[in-house]
Structure 1
Amino acid sequence: MQQNGLLTTSQSSVNWLKYILAGCVLLIDFYFVFLMYSQGEYLFAILTLIIVSSGVYIFTSNKVYSWRYVYPGIMGMVIFILFPLVATIAIAFTNYSGTNQLAFDRAVSVLTQQRYFSGEKYDFKLYPLENDEFILSLHSATTEQNFVSEKVKFTDNQVTLIEKDAPNNTPAPLKFVIQNRNSLQNMTALLPNGEELRMSSLRQFAQQQHTYKFDDINKTLINNRTGKTYKANEEIGFFQEIDDNGQWLAQKLEPGFTVSTGIKNFVRIFEDEGIQKPFIQIFIWTVVFSVLTVVFTVIIGMVLACIVQWEALKGKAIYRLLLILPYAVPAFISILVFKGLFNQSFGEINMILHHLFGLQPEWFNDPFLAKMMILIVNTWLGYPYMMILCMGLLKAIPQDLYEASAMDGASVIQNFTKITVPLLLKPLTPLMIASFAFNFNNFVLIQLLTNGRPDMIGTTTPAGYTDLLVSYTYRIAFEGSGSQDFGLAAAIATIIFLLVGGLALLNIKASKMKLD
């Protein structure tokens, strides 16, 4: 009985320790969640709260003990798959861009922290002393007054000055001021009348004032320098100038703030001609590129697989090795090599074409030739994979079929088209759909080979004739000349997700059909 009592007491102590530890973890979690929420990072706050809270519950409760084994995997999917997807879709319904990245409160904080120099400017000099100390001297050209500080270090944030003549020793040169500019810019000089001065140039100090004053009730910013009034425009996410009647004027203040725009980004894709035209062209090219890549790689891979499996062929192992090499070389290396081969001025391909036919095609300047070049390179990169698959599938075709066709007098071509192709296409269908989905988002090829160029003219967003939807989205997000339009890019990414997701469902359905 005594031993059972000791075990019960020990188990109770372990449980209490576990609950105390879980409580500490939750307190820390709530603290960080509050910080993220206060900074406007709502999605990160919700994600952190869900992950930590669910983890604490699962690892402290015996009722859900079995979930401890799958919890890491589930949370990995939530963090690396589900959360980026939800975040992208959420951004698609906002004006999030290079100029509208901040929450409203943060944008107000940044704007109200802006300062300008006003009032009289004071010439200053530094007089170095021992132990990295110096004396700061200010001179007013208007009143001819001199103000001098006591011994000061560059780590001091505030310096008090008194009216006194400057020292007689030699002041520090401009080089010394430049070397310590950052420290001087963080220093406030306090005059006897209470006026605070900050470094305004390499030779002067001046009074510094806040540029904007925020009115929380009306959500307006007043420019202390010009008297202009700016009101928060919730539709575009900027503080915009208003007149005396409250009407909007043209001037806007940056940075802006993030606001919800509903489906405006999706509407822009189909209504803004500068976006609609390149989007439709790029979408069609993306589908054509993906389809032709699958067709070319399958045909070439299938033909080469049949050739290297031909029993009468000598040295089959060498041929197989050579044909699989493009698959073994990293894709980015092959792409860069082809980029040099297709160079219009000194590439080997143009040199050969010039010597044989007198031609020097402009592969990177002509839209049609650029697309042909991309298809050639991608076919080179993709055929080995299809060839390997076909080599394995060919062994599963019964030889009796070929023997029966030989007895009927069928030719090699008839055997290939009537027996080999139909029996290979059936198991290849799911893999062809997967290949189509992969090439639909083949960002690396476009980025390294052409970077989407040649560029289209007259578009609202950066767009090129060889861009795929994925590279077009990237250019909108990171190469915009005005502002990086992450909201529009996220909207296009959402459309891409729906298209590729539909292909994935089609692939699953096709795979089930093959199994049945």
Structure 2
Amino acid sequence: MTAPQSTLDADTTAPPPEAHGRRWSGRGWGFLVKLALMAVINAVGLMGIIAAFQAESWIVFGVAVALLVAADVVYFTKRALPLKYLLPGLSFLLIFQIFIFLYTGYIAFTNYGSGHVGSQEQAVEAALAQGERRVEGAPTLPLAVVERGGELGFAVVLDGEIRAGTADEPLAPVGAAPASGAPTEVPGWTIVPRNTIIGDADTQAAVVDLRVPVSDDPNDGSIRTRDGSSGAVYLSTMTWDADAQTISDSATGLVYTATERGEFVAEDGTTLPAGWTVHVGFDNFVKLFTNPSLVEPLALVTGWTFVWAILSVAIPFALGLLIALVYNDPRVRGRKVLRTLFILPYAFPAFMSALLFRGMFNAEFGVINEFFFGGTNIDWLGDPWLARGAVLFVNVWLTYPYYFLVCTGALQALPQDALEAASIDGAGRFRQLRAIILPLVLVSTAPLLISSFAFSFNNFTVIYMFNNGGPSIPGAPYALGNTDILISAIYDISGVSGGAADYGLASALSILVFIVVGVISALAFRQTKKLEEYQ
């Protein structure tokens, strides 16, 4: 008796058992790799969620939870196949683009900056710490420097027991006091040896600067030490009244009242250095247009920014197009070698080239004055107009090879039949250049020119590395200079390079720069459509 035909067919077409094993093995390893990657993602995501929860950043907390849940659902189900490829890109876009833009917008509506960094509670603690003095007649307390979780603290013998705490945690009882002297064992803490404190300058400075609150009430003072083995209670001449929202200075008799601007201000107008972050509405934007000390320097910087962005595109493009036209002619010998030489500046890092040119333009020992002007002392970096011309020259030298390459490619892609027809009709080289070559080249290069304009508008590297935006504008706040463009002015206002920082004002200016560049780019892209008529 024979088996049915269908059964025989099934047996002959079935893959061998080892093929199933190989296929299962491949799928099994792939699943294990995916499981390991998702474990890492979940671990990092949970750390971010916990950190956001502890910081009470509820928006960040909600977004982090949503992204983590979405990742688990997408990569552990078979239905969301397209999202497996889209989710990583969307997540990076949300984190590194949208979030940064929204956070910048948020900061623009606050007074966040020097003296206004944390909360009101932190501002009160800072104000009280600035006026601290040792309590007259206060006993010297046996003390040990302790550490827990990488954070330093003090353990003191007070009222017959050991109390330990850190700068963020007030003293709390942890055990019975020893018979005499400083604590030798502190439950839950590790005692830092005295030799370690003396031998490490950073640790020694951290111990001297450390203040451990006596209790939750900042008016009770804090424990400080000078030698790491004994401490005393220090009280501030300032007294905080939480109900009245005032800080009283017993040394001067002034009373500082908390205001909606995030400051403590006395009746005579004096302000405590420590403030806190609050929302100020559109004040930062209004300040950019109404503050007398800021309007004139920013207007000068804004005007130069537009001139810089336009010339940084127009001059290198014209130079690159000219060189491309010359070396696109087959009659020129050695074109490959010469083209290579012309694009060499494009191979050098921009910041290094800017630093080299900074030395070359030096008035005292620079090679520019020495070799080209017979040793004349020309102050290229100190005169506003000479500095602008010098930095523009450097930028042209750095960027013309890019336009040379772009224009060379555009010229080689031109339809030769159109040029031949124009030549037969009697059009000369200039006529062909004006009526055919240039319009067709602009069609292909216009989007690149627009993007180059946006890049030049925010070209921070050359401006900062060449002259740090100098020379300075007399009377301008935030160390603004004559060669500063808006992006470097934002850097100066943010205080990264030193001095007072005003992140709220810098963020407001960043938003305006973004809007300006976006509007100009949108209008320019619309105008480029007219060039397509030449195709």
TM-score under structure 1 length normalisation = 0.74
Q: What SS is found at the alignment partner of 1:251?
A: coil
Looking at structure 2, the residues matched to 30 and 462 of structure 1 have their Cα atoms a distance apart, in angstroms, of 40
Say whether residues 1:71 and 2:87 are aligned partners: yes
Which piece of structure 1 moves more, 223-232 or 254-263?
Answer: 223-232
Q: Secondary structure of 1:311's match? A: coil
Superposed CA deviations along residues 292-334 of structure 1, whole A, max 9, x for unmatched, are 1211111111111111111111111110110011111222222
1:353 aligned to 2:372? yes
Report how far residue 408 of structure 1 moved.
5.2
| Matching residue of 1:104 | 120
User: Deviation at 1:252?
Assistant: 2.3
Q: 1:48 to 1:225 in 2, by over 3 A?
A: farther
Match of 1:240 among 221, 242, 265: 265
Whether 1:51 aligns to 2:73 is no
Q: Hey, what's the Cα distance between the residues in 2 that align with 1:28 and 1:416?
A: 62
**1:501 Cα deviation from its structure 2 partner:** 1.9
- Which of 241, 246, 257 is the aligned partner of 1:231? 257
Aligned pair count reads 444
- Cα 1:26–1:327 shift into 2, 3 Å: closer
Between the aligned partners of 1:289 and 1:183, the Cα distance in structure 2 is: 51
Secondary structure at 1:249's aligned position in 2? coil
Equivalence for 1:208: 234
Question: 2: distance between equivalents of 1:330 and 1:481?
Answer: 26
AA in 1 matched with 2:363 = Q
CA positional deviation for 1:490:
0.7
| SS of alignment partner, residue 208 of structure 1 | strand
Partner residue of 2:191? Answer: none
Deviation by residue 1:97-116 (Cα, 9 ceiling, x = unmatched): 11101123333354456643
2:269 is paired with a residue of what secondary structure? strand
Tell me, in whole angstroms, the C-alpha distance in 2 between the residues paired with 1:420 and 1:402.
Answer: 8
Structure 2 match to 1:335: 354
The yes-or-no answer on 1:458 pairing with 2:483 is: no
- The yes-or-no answer on 1:81 pairing with 2:100 is no
8 Å contact kept, 1:220–1:230:
yes
Distance in 1, Cα, partners of 2:89 & 2:435 = 47
1:397 and 2:422 matched? no
From the superposition, tell whether residues 405 and 60 of structure 1 become closer, same or farther in structure 2 (CA, over 3 Å): closer
Aligned residue number for residue 421 of structure 1: 438
Q: What does 1:47-446 correspond to in 2, within 5 Å?
A: 47-56=63-72, 58=74, 66-111=82-127, 115-120=132-137, 150-152=180-182, 198-199=224-225, 206-209=232-235, 212-223=238-249, 228-234=254-260, 236-241=261-266, 248-355=267-374, 359-407=376-424, 410-446=427-463
Aligned-partner SS, 2:333:
coil
Call closer, same or farther: CA 1:198–1:55 in 2, change over 3 Å: same
> How well do the aligned residues superpose, as a CA RMSD in angstroms?
4.0
Counterpart amino acid of residue 458 in structure 1: G
- Letter of the 1:71 partner, please give it: L
Q: Do the aligned partners of residues 296 and 196 (structure 1) sit closer, same or farther apart at CA in structure 2, a change above 3 Å counting?
A: closer
Any conservation in 2 of the 1:119–1:206 contact (CA below 8 Å)? no
Paired with 2:467 and 2:366, the residues of 1 have a C-alpha distance of 15
Looking at structure 1, the residues matched to 336 and 391 of structure 2 have their Cα atoms a distance apart, in angstroms, of: 30
Q: Closer, same or farther in 2 for the Cα pair 1:206/1:68, shift >3 Å?
A: same
1:75 and 1:320 mapped to 2: Cα distance?
42
Q: Please point out which of 485, 491, 498 is paired with 2:502.
A: 485
Deviates more, 1:52-61 or 1:253-262: 52-61
Alignment of 1:460-479 (within 5 A): 460-478=477-495
For structure 1, list consecutive stretches of 5 or more residues without a partner in the other structure: 1-20, 127-135, 137-147, 158-174, 242-247
Distance 1:451 1:333 in 2: 14
Higher mean C-alpha displacement, 391-400 vs 431-440: 391-400
Q: Does the Cα contact within 8 Å between 1:278 and 1:463 map onto a contact in 2? A: yes
Distance 1:252 1:200, change over 3 A: farther
Q: Alignment partner of 1:461: what SS?
A: helix
Per the normalisation by structure 2, the TM-score is 0.72
| Distance across 2 between alignment mates of 1:359 and 1:182 | 53
Counterpart secondary structure, 1:69:
helix
- 8 Å Cα contact 1:43/1:87 also seen in 2: no
Distance between the aligned counterparts of 2:204 and 2:458, measured in 1? 51
Specify the SS of the correspondent of 2:137: strand
Which amino acid counterpart does residue 269 of structure 1 have in structure 2? L
Are the structure 2 counterparts of residues 61 and 256 from structure 1 closer, same or farther at C-alpha, using a change threshold of 3 Å?
A: farther
Moved more, 261-270 or 212-221: 212-221
Cα 1:368–1:307, aligned 2, differ >3 Å: closer, same or farther? same
Structure 2 regions of 5+ residues with no counterpart? 1-38, 144-155, 157-177, 188-197, 215-220
- Distance in 1 between residues matched to 2:210 and 2:457, nearest whole Å: 53
SS at match of 2:270: strand
> What secondary structure is seen at the aligned counterpart in 2 of 1:488?
helix
Separation in 1 of the partners of 2:222 and 2:389? 68
d(CA) in 2 for partners of 1:386 and 1:273? 41
Alpha-carbon contact 1:397-1:423 (below 8 Å) kept: yes
The equivalent position to 1:505 in structure 2, one of 515, 519, 522, is 522
CA contact (8 A) 2:45 2:64 kept: no
- Which is further off, 110-119 or 451-460? 110-119
